[in-house]
Every structure is written in C-alpha cells, then in structure tokens.
Structure 1
Amino acid sequence: MSSAAAASAASDPIAPFSTRVGWIGTGVMGRSMCGHLIRAGYTVTVFNRTVSKAQPLLDMGARLADSPRSLAALSDVVFSIVGYPSDVRSVLLDPSSGALASLRPGGVVVDMTTSDPSLAEEISAAASAIGCHAVDAPVSGGDGGARNATLAIFAGGDPATVRRLEPLLSVMGKVNYMGSPGKGQFAKLGNQITIASTMVGLVEGMVFANKAGLDIGSFVSAISTGSAGSKSLDSQGKRILQRDFEARFYVNHFVKDLGICLKESQRMGLALPGLALAQQLYLSLKAHGEGNLGIQALILALERLNNVKLENAGSSNLEFKECAA
C-alpha cells in the first residue's frame, strides 16, 4: 500500500460494514468486550491461547485465527487485552508471530491491558515505523463493566486516531482521552493506586468495627451513605460480608498493576506510602496461595495480621454492585 493509500485508509470512517476487527485475549473481560462488537455488527477475528475460552465468541459468529500475526492480516483494527506486559510484547511485537508483523499500513492496534507506559510508547513507535497507529486504552470497571458496556476507558495516543476509534470504543464504555502514547496507562495506574488505598481503608474500618463489637452489616450500611461511601465500598462491602472472595478482578493481576505503579513512582521520585502498604498486603495474599481470589480478599490479610475473623455480619442493605477495579 502506498503512503497516500495508507493515509486514506487511516482516515476512512469506522463502521460495521467496512471495518474488520481483530481481538486478542478472550478472558473474563475480553470475551464480554468483544461480544459487544460482534453484536454491533462488526466482522471479528479472535485469537486466544486457550481456544475453548474463545468458543462463546465463535458461537456468535467470530472467526478463529491461529496466531496474532494471522489475525492482524485479516484486520483493520486489532485489540489486545491479555495478562501481563510480557504477553502484550509477545502478541503485538514478536517479529515472527506478533500482530504488527502483518498489520497493513493504516491499521491500528489498541492495547487495553494494564501495562507499562514505556511499553505503550514502544508499541506506538513500532506501529508508526510501518505506517500504522497504536493506542493504549486500559480500562476500569471489572467484569461487570465489561458485561454492561460501562467501562471507563483511558486512551493515550494520537487524538485524531482516538476520535476515529470512538465508534468501536463507545460500544464498550466511556472513552476518556488522556494524552500522548503511554498516558492512558498512566491514568489507569493512578486509578489502581486510588483503589488500593481505598481498599485498605475499607478493610481496616471493618476490622476496627468488628473489634468494637458493632454489627458489621449495619456498620457497612451506615457508612455507605456518608462521606466514607465509595464505589469500592458498594462493590466490595457486601462480598466481604458474605465471605464471597470469587474473583471479578484477580489479586494476581492487582499485584502486577501495583508493582508497575511502584516502579513508575520510583522512576518519578515519588514516595507513595499508601501504595507501598497496599502492595505488601496484597503480596501477602499471593504468598498464602490466594492470588486467584478477588481483591476483596484483602480482608483475609487483615484478619491474619490481627488474628481475628469478622463476626456478627448481620444483614446489609447495600445494593449489590459490580467490581470497579
């Protein structure tokens, strides 16, 4: 494709009848997010290392690719949402099997994994070198936000490219443009820092109330309508009361996110003691073999630390809401 043709392709409007979508990563969130695009009428090709996890999307009409490279050859826009930065590097940048090895000029890669800002910048530079575009667009809202298409999407990259992607991104949630390549990742890391410290405050308050002899259900319900109320309290409070530690967002992935936050904070010369404490508490869960539980399992770390277990949970009037990690 000539440079003129590439420029034309990059400015073509995105629409179901003309835009081919590739989707890499069909886990708990990716499967729901991709499903919205299929229901919106887009032609979608998917890749996942465990094919069975992609089966619901294949049943909806998606095609299956045997590698990110073969997927990109059939796509105009390639999305990825995988586990770790090393996975992002593999599926997008690997010279033999990665998506950028076959994406045609004018194509776009959109990485929605929470990852390193520097990796987002590297992907953007690699895409630009072959006449393509890259956007980092990590999300917040957990599996509930993915299912309900209410995710907060933090987008970094060329503003015109992000605007052009709006028909795709808006199918999954609300797009927030954060700035140049890597800035979407920085915004998501700030989001995770906020959640981490909020979770520490939540479980400490519950352990304190329990020790004071309060009915924990009544306590959580009471503070939810005051200044201590938060989405974390709404989404996690009732789960903790019910001892429901099923993962909507894995401890293992949160440890990864907070590790990136600490690394970036150190690079910027920032001291964030709340972040460091939260990371240590979540690492203790992982050390106890609880990495596949949800982030609400932080209460287990506080219970162990104080040799207590929440009692008198009672009944809470909290409305059950989805995780916003």
Structure 2
Amino acid sequence: MTVIGFIGIGVMGKSMASHLLKAGYEVIVYNRTKEKAVDVIEAGAKWMDTVKEVAQTADVIITIVGYPHDVEEVYLGEEGLLKHAKPGTYFIDMTTSSPSLAAKIYDEAKKREMHALDAPVSGGDIGAKEARLAIMVGGDEADFEAVLPIFEKMGKNIILQGGPGAGQHTKMCNQMAIATTMLGVCEAITYAEKAGLSPERVLKTIETGAAGSFSLSVLGPKMIAGDFEPGFYVKHFIKDMTIALNSAQELGLLTPGLKLAKEMYEKLAEAGEENSGTQALYKLYQS
C-alpha cells in the first residue's frame, strides 16, 4: 500500500488530500497550522509533527505550500524532505513556484536516487473540490507514468509538459493569461454598469462568445454579487505574477500586460485586500 505524504493543507490542499483518502490511500499530513488539517485528520489522515517525519514515512510526498522560499525550506532545508527521505521516494511539488527551483530540486533528488516532479495546478478551490484540476507536469516520463493514478484522483486535464521545470513554466503561461483577462473582466462589468446595462445580462451574452473564460463566467458573477471570498488569494496571485515576471525577464521577454496587472493587484493589496479572492480587483474600478 502506497503511503502518501501531503504537506500543505490549505484552500486547495484540504480537498486534494481528501480525494486521496476517499480513493483508499493511506495519507499522512503536515501543515504549519494543525487546526487547518483537522477535517482531513478526522476523515482518516494521520498527523505528523514535522516535515522530517513525513519524509521518513511516505513513499510519495505531495507539497502545495505558499511561496518559493517555503518550497526551498521544505525540500532543501536541514529538516527538509531531501535530507531525510528514503531512496526511491517520489516528490510532487504542486505549489506554483520558480521553474529554476523545480529544476534544482529535481537534480538534488536524482543525486539521492529519488524522483521529483513539478506539477502546479489550475482550477481554484472549485476545481480542487470537484477533483477536476488541470495539472501541469514537468519531469521524467517514467516518473510521470508511475504517479499518474495519483494525479487522476485530483484532476482531469493532466499533461506532461516536458522536463524539470516545464510544469512551472506552463503555470506561468496560465497566470499571464489570467492576469490580463481579469483586467478585461473588471473593465467590461464596470462599463456595462456605467452604460446603464444589466451586468448579469451582459455576462450571459458575452460568456458564450469569443470573450468567454473562467474568469468571466465564474468570477464575473461574484464581482457583481459582491462576493470576494478567496478561491485564490490576492497575495498568492501577486506571488505568481512576480515569478512570471522574473522568469520572463530571464527569457528576454517583455510582458507589459502582466506588469500592469501586477501593479494593480499590489495596489489592491495595499488597500487591505491581500486575503481576498482575486475577483476583488473589481473594487479598484468602483472607487
């Protein structure tokens, strides 16, 4: 029986770990705040007090933590996974993180006869709850095939994008597309209101045309309803855009739309909205 370690029981991680439990896997969990893991513990997961204990116990370890520096600490720190896991362990980092850090973790794992994949996700809290996340994977094909049954318990659109770091590069593409789309959705709804239209009717019409997107169909109605609860935090989106801008700079690529979106989200965070959902950008257009 494969023992799966799951590190990071947050908005996404709670649902993802729960799906693995329902599938019959033995799941051990660690989170910096134990209270956030109570639901999955009550559902059958076993609590571990440290990352080191997870490393020593699990066969496959999934991480979905906050920031690249958290990923680095969890994997490369003195009490981290790579220092204490057994040979043959599979690591799957599902955090949105740096492509270069993903490649570094892969190299360090390979030296220790371990396997590492970077596999960030898209689909938000709804996709996590419904086990239909898009999973973007970087790493060796044999490792991908070995853990594919695990991926299939959490997502639907699961594609190996290339070697180490390719999953993270793909997620950067995803976040770039979302960043500028969110500006357009906010502007379209605000325009509809200023023009005396019903924004609900406008959305019903344009979401079936060329303007259609997840942001328009799912987050647009939330903006109109004044629902700014996080499916994905503003602060984490700023983190993702920062990674994307840095990666683009390394590639010699200009991304003016992404730069503008990041500046606007930073303004939103400065206004006290860093823990709101990304749809809270709409508030800037109402001020």
Both structures adopt the same fold (TM-score exceeding 0.5):
yes
Work out whether residues 97 and 243 of structure 2, in 8 Å CA contact, stay in contact via their aligned partners in 1.
yes
Query: Which whole-Å deviations, capped at 9, do the CAs of 1:97-153 have from their partners, x for residues lacking one?
Result: 111121111111110000000110111011111110100000000011111100000
Q: Which amino acid counterpart does residue 290 of structure 1 have in structure 2?
A: E
Work out whether residues 68 and 92 of structure 1, in 8 Å CA contact, stay in contact via their aligned partners in 2.
no
2:224 corresponds to 1:241: yes
> Residue 252 of structure 2 corresponds to which residue in structure 1?
269
> Residue 12 of structure 2 corresponds to which residue in structure 1?
29
> Residue 102 of structure 1 corresponds to which residue in structure 2?
84
Work out whether residues 282 and 298 of structure 1, in 8 Å CA contact, stay in contact via their aligned partners in 2.
yes
After TM superposition, what 4+ stretches of structure 1 lie above 2 angstroms from structure 2? none
> What is the deviation of 1:260?
0.6
1:251-290 superposed matches below 5 A: 251-290=234-273
Query: Structure 1 stretch 293-302 or stretch 177-186: which is displaced more?
Result: 293-302
Query: Which TM-score applies when normalising by structure 2?
Result: 0.98
Q: Which of 121, 129, 132 is the equivalent residue of 1:139?
A: 121
Structure 1: where are the runs of 5+ without partners? 1-17, 305-325
2:31 corresponds to 1:48: yes
> What is the deviation of 1:302?
2.1
> What is the deviation of 1:55?
1.1
Q: Which amino acid counterpart does residue 121 of structure 1 have in structure 2?
A: A
Query: Which TM-score applies when normalising by structure 1?
Result: 0.86
2:96 corresponds to 1:117: no
Query: Which whole-Å deviations, capped at 9, do the CAs of 1:274-303 have from their partners, x for residues lacking one?
Result: 111111111111110101110111111222
Q: Distance in 2 between matches of 1:110 and 1:98?
A: 14
> Residue 202 of structure 2 corresponds to which residue in structure 1?
219
> Residue 13 of structure 1 corresponds to which residue in structure 2?
none
> Residue 167 of structure 2 corresponds to which residue in structure 1?
184
Q: Which amino acid counterpart does residue 143 of structure 1 have in structure 2?
A: D
Query: Which whole-Å deviations, capped at 9, do the CAs of 1:205-261 have from their partners, x for residues lacking one?
Result: 112222222222222222122221222111111101101111110000000000111
> Residue 182 of structure 2 corresponds to which residue in structure 1?
199
Q: Which amino acid counterpart does residue 22 of structure 2 have in structure 1?
A: R
Q: Distance in 2 between matches of 1:277 and 1:303?
A: 18
* SS across alignment from 1:191: helix
Q: Which amino acid counterpart does residue 62 of structure 2 have in structure 1?
A: F
1:278-317 superposed matches below 5 A: 278-304=261-287
Larger Rg: 1
Query: Which whole-Å deviations, capped at 9, do the CAs of 1:69-124 have from their partners, x for residues lacking one?
Result: 111111111110001011111111112x1111211111111100000001101110
Q: Which amino acid counterpart does residue 98 of structure 1 have in structure 2?
A: G
Q: Distance in 1 between matches of 2:43 and 2:201?
A: 44
Q: Distance in 2 between matches of 1:241 and 1:301?
A: 13
Alignment: residue pair count: 286
* SS across alignment from 2:237: helix
2:86 corresponds to 1:87: no
Q: Distance in 1 between matches of 2:129 and 2:175?
A: 20
Q: Which of 148, 161, 170 is the equivalent residue of 1:166?
A: 148
* SS across alignment from 1:152: strand
> What is the deviation of 1:269?
1.1
Work out whether residues 248 and 294 of structure 1, in 8 Å CA contact, stay in contact via their aligned partners in 2.
yes
Work out whether residues 69 and 100 of structure 1, in 8 Å CA contact, stay in contact via their aligned partners in 2.
no
